[in-house]
């Protein structure tokens, strides 16, 4: 392992190591973990967290460059959000979704305002998976069609239709939902279309998408469900013309465009919603439905939802929407949304994410790529980046799991929490991250790549 880097961070609060040992024991005896074989798990035990720092019971401080599951956009334990949840718990801890509650309306109003003109209402869910689930339901009901097109490089959640919309391996043991079709989206670095430029990649991916629509029968397709910037699949920023091309195809064939912004929304790309970014969507093409979760309140209370355009809110004005959840618009979740969005606005958090990406993370990661041949490509924007790691830059052969595990171990030794997926290290700190914290993390990444390359 390499030496721990010098770091400027807050002092770790005092915790009892015995509590840490008990936390681990209880977890291993009673907690069943997702996406895991249970026997060999050795979970990292967290005692508390604040800002970009995570603290252990042993007194260590880790710089969180995973944002947990890429959701703590406003950082950990933001005092205004914590206080809002506490106040709401004392005033109205829960209420049936059929009733009106002031805090729920305030939360929905703020989300619609961030989405901008062309959107009217919010349907609240418990998380991102059921947001996508209900968006698919809405699209099917409004269009009278059944099929949903999504991409192979995607993740949309672990409920019935959402997991089958997902493209990666997690779909395969769970294919119980009907009417799902997958296509390859644009990915110039590992092109499925033999493209030699991002522009050509966009054109060929759109051609592939349209030919799939035609072959499936446009009259059978309800929706195209796309992560605006696929996250877990590799932070795949769409090339020029792709999003407006999707909009044009949806208009041509009367198909609903669902933008999955669960991971990319609320500051992650330096915009309130990723589709609003001029870099990837210069014409401002608008989706019909926007799904969200994670970043809207940094995951402090489970919540998700759908932002509806008037076509959808109007459709159900006189028709019953056959869906609902006991905790839809839960008041504690709503209070956390109001406080988080107000704090992000007042404190310039989204602008900070954009600045960090443009001036610090982007340049710093590209400098690392110049130094370390293992880094085949740097992709991203805002505080949403991925390093595509290869054994050979010419062949672009991905590194194996052993290399990724060694890099993760080196980063943990240097007190930086990593996020890894397949052959990639994702660099995804909270939107509040400072230039100084970025410098600490970049030094840790540099040390990790150097150590692994030497062994």
Q: Is the same domain home to 338 and 415?
A: no
- Do 326 and 403 lie in one domain? The reply is no
- Exposure letters 198-208 (e unless 16+ CB within 10 A, then b): bebbbbbbbeb
| DSSP helix/strand/coil, 125 | strand
Whether the per-residue pLDDT at 173 is higher than 90: the answer is no
**What is the domain-level CATH number for residue 21?**
3.90.1150.10
> What is the per-residue pLDDT for 174?
87
Task: For residues 276 and 388, state if they share a domain.
Answer: no
Decide if pLDDT at 396 tops 80.
yes
pLDDT at 291: 98
The reply to whether 332 falls in a domain is yes
- Both 149 and 191 in one domain: the answer is yes
- Residue 54, in any domain of the structure: yes
Q: Is residue 12 part of a domain?
A: no
- Average pLDDT, stretch 215-243? 97
Which CATH number belongs to the domain containing residue 185 in this structure?
3.40.640.10
Q: What is the pLDDT of residue 7?
A: 43
CA distances from 411 to 50, 64, 174, 383, 434 (A): 20, 11, 34, 18, 19
Number of structural domains, the chain? 2
Q: What is the pLDDT of residues 49-91, one digit of tens each?
A: 999 999 999 999 999 999 999 999 999 999 999 999 999 999 9
The range of the structural domain enclosing residue 227 comes to 79-346
Final residue of a structural domain among 318, 346, 374: 346
Query: Are both 402 and 319 inside the same structural domain?
Result: no
Q: Name 231's Cβ contacts closer than 8 Å, sequence gap at least 6.
A: 70, 155, 263, 264, 384, 426
Quick one: residue 442, left, alpha or beta (phi over 0 = left, psi -120 to 50 = alpha)?
A: alpha
Q: Are residues 174 and 301 in the same domain?
A: yes
In this prediction, residue 169 carries a pLDDT of 87
- Specify whether 248 is located in the same domain as 115: yes
Residues 147 and 267 in one domain: yes
pLDDT at 204 over 50: yes
pTM: 0.95
Tell me which of 296, 321, 346 is where a domain ends. Answer: 346
Token pair 């936390």 is at which residue? 23
In a domain, 220, yes or no: yes
Arithmetic mean of pLDDT over the chain: 96
Contacts of 42 (CB under 8 A, 6+ apart): none
**How far apart, in whole angstroms, are the C-alpha atoms of residue 363 and residue 357?**
8
Asked whether 452 and 407 are in contact (CB, 8 A), the reply is: yes
% of residues, the chain, pLDDT over 90: 93
Q: Is residue 71 part of a domain?
A: no
54 and 86 assigned to the same domain: no
Q: Of 346, 362, 382, at which residue does a domain stop?
A: 346
Judge whether 140 lies within some domain: yes
- Say yes or no: 222 and 327 in one domain: yes
Let me know: does 407 contact 449? Beta carbons within 8 Å: yes
User: How open is the CA angle 366-368-372, to the nearest 5 degrees?
Assistant: 120
Mind listing the pLDDT tens digit for each residue in 371-391?
999 999 999 999 999 999 999
Q: Do residues 131 and 197 share a domain?
A: yes
Residue 189 burial (10 A CB sphere; 0-12, 13-18, 19+): middle
CB–CB of 269/382 below 8 Å?
Answer: yes
Q: Is residue 10 part of a domain?
A: no
Assess if residue 6 is contained within a domain.
no
Same domain, 60 and 87: no
């Amino acid at each position: 392992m390499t030496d721990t880097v010098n770091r400027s961070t807050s002092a770790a609060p005092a915790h009892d190591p015995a509590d840490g040992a008990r936390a681990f024991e209880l977890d291993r005896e009673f907690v069943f973990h997702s996406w895991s074989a249970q026997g060999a798990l050795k979970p990292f035990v967290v005692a508390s967290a604040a800002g970009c720092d995570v603290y252990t019971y042993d007194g260590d401080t880790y710089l969180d460059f995973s944002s947990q599951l890429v959701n703590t956009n406003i950082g950990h334990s933001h005092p205004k959000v914590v206080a809002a949840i506490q106040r709401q718990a004392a005033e109205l801890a829960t209420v049936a979704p059929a009733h009106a509650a002031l805090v729920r309306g305030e939360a929905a109003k703020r989300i619609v305002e961030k989405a901008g003109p062309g959107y009217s209402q919010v349907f609240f869910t418990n998380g991102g998976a059921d947001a996508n689930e209900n968006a698919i339901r809405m699209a099917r009901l409004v269009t009278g069609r059944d099929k949903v097109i999504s991409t192979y490089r995607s993740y949309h959640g672990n409920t019935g239709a959402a997991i089958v919309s997902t493209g990666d391996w997690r779909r395969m043991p769970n294919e119980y939902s009907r009417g799902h079709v997958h296509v390859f989206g644009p990915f110039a670095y590992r092109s499925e279309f033999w493209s030699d430029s991002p522009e050509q990649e966009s054109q060929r991916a759109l051609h592939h998408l349209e030919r799939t629509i035609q072959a499936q029968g446009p009259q059978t397709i309800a929706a195209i469900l796309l992560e605006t910037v696929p996250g877990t699949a590799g932070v795949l920023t769409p090339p020029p013309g792709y999003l407006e091309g999707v909009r044009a195809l949806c208009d041509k064939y009367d198909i609903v465009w669902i933008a999955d912004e669960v991971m990319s929304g609320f500051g992650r790309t330096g915009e309130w919603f990723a589709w609003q970014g001029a870099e990837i969507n210069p014409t401002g093409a608008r989706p019909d439905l926007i799904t969200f979760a994670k970043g809207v309140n940094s995951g402090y209370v489970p919540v998700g939802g759908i932002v509806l355009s008037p076509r959808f809110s109007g459709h159900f004005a006189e028709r019953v929407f056959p869906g609902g959840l006991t905790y839809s618009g839960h008041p504690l979740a709503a209070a956390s949304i109001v406080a988080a969005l107000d704090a992000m606005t007042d404190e310039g958090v989204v602008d900070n994410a954009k600045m960090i990406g443009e001036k610090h993370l982007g340049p710093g990661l590209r400098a690392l790529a110049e130094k370390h041949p293992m880094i085949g490509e740097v992709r991203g924007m805002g505080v949403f980046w991925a390093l595509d790691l290869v054994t050979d830059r010419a062949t672009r052969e991905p590194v194996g799991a052993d290399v990724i595990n060694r890099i993760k171990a080196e980063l943990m030794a240097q007190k930086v929490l990593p996020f890894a997926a397949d052959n990639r290290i994702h660099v995804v700190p909270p939107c509040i991250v400072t230039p100084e914290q970025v410098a600490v993390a970049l030094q840790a990444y540099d040390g990790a790549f150097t150590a692994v390359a030497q062994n």
